[in-house]
Amino acid sequence: MINFSLKTNVGLAILLSLLVGCTDRVSLAESEMQKIRSQGPQAIEPPPEPLKIEDFVYAAQGESDPFVPKSLRERQQVREQTPSVKPDENRVKEPLEEFELLQLTYRGKVVAPNGQEYGLVQTPDMMVHDVQVGNYLGKNHGRIVEITSTQINLIEIVKDTDEQYVEKTTPLVSPN
């Protein structure tokens, strides 16, 4: 019994010392806040005057602009060397170009008696259309370049991040 009461007394002593320490810190913080409130508003120093910097015009003709990253200069050089790609807006649109590729379903390949290969493409209204190499699908000017038993391979003309047209290979894959 004596050990229990001794432990209890020690525990109470530690607890009281912690509580007393907390109240001392709280009262100390309150007194500091009261001092700050009693001082009133303080004047704020004005910001320093900004330095005037003269404009600089880069006028070195025929030299690369050091303010344009090297990767952008290289991309521009590649673009200038490659022939420009753009869709033929005067071409008569084919019926399957009114659909997004995601709306179309490739159903398989058929070979005619003369050896001509056709792909079967189903539209959202459940109609099946036959297509061949050279036909167009989708809204991105997708020209069919190959028909296999599992997919139709297209080359689409889309805009890249620089708003320039580029060619992109896209498959229309059979769901089976």
The rounded mean pLDDT for the chain is: 84
pLDDT tens digits for 96-128?
A: 999 999 999 999 999 999 999 999 999 999 999
Residue 150: inside a domain: yes
DSSP the chain: -HHHHHHHHHHHHHHHHHHHHHHHHHHHHHHHHHHHHHH---PPPPPPPPPP--------TTSPPTTS-HHHHHHHHHHHHSPP----TTSPPPGGGGS-GGG-EEEEEEE-TTS-EEEEEE-TTS-EEEE-TT-EETTTTEEEEEE-SSEEEEEEEEE-TTS-EEEEEEEEE---
Residue 145: inside a domain: yes
Best-predicted range by mean pLDDT among 10-14, 71-75, 106-110?
A: 106-110
Residue 66: inside a domain: no
Average confidence (pLDDT) over 162-170: 84
Predicted confidence band at 10 (pLDDT cuts at 50, 70, 90)?
Answer: low
| pLDDT of residue 1 exceeding 50 | no
Residue 4: inside a domain: no
Any idea what the CATH number is for the domain that residue 128 is in? 2.30.30.830
Residue 91: inside a domain: yes
Residue 105: inside a domain: yes
Residue 64: inside a domain: no
Predicted confidence band at 64 (pLDDT cuts at 50, 70, 90)?
Answer: confident
| Domains held by the chain: number | 1
* Residue ranges making up the domain that contains 112: 76-173
Residue 9: inside a domain: no
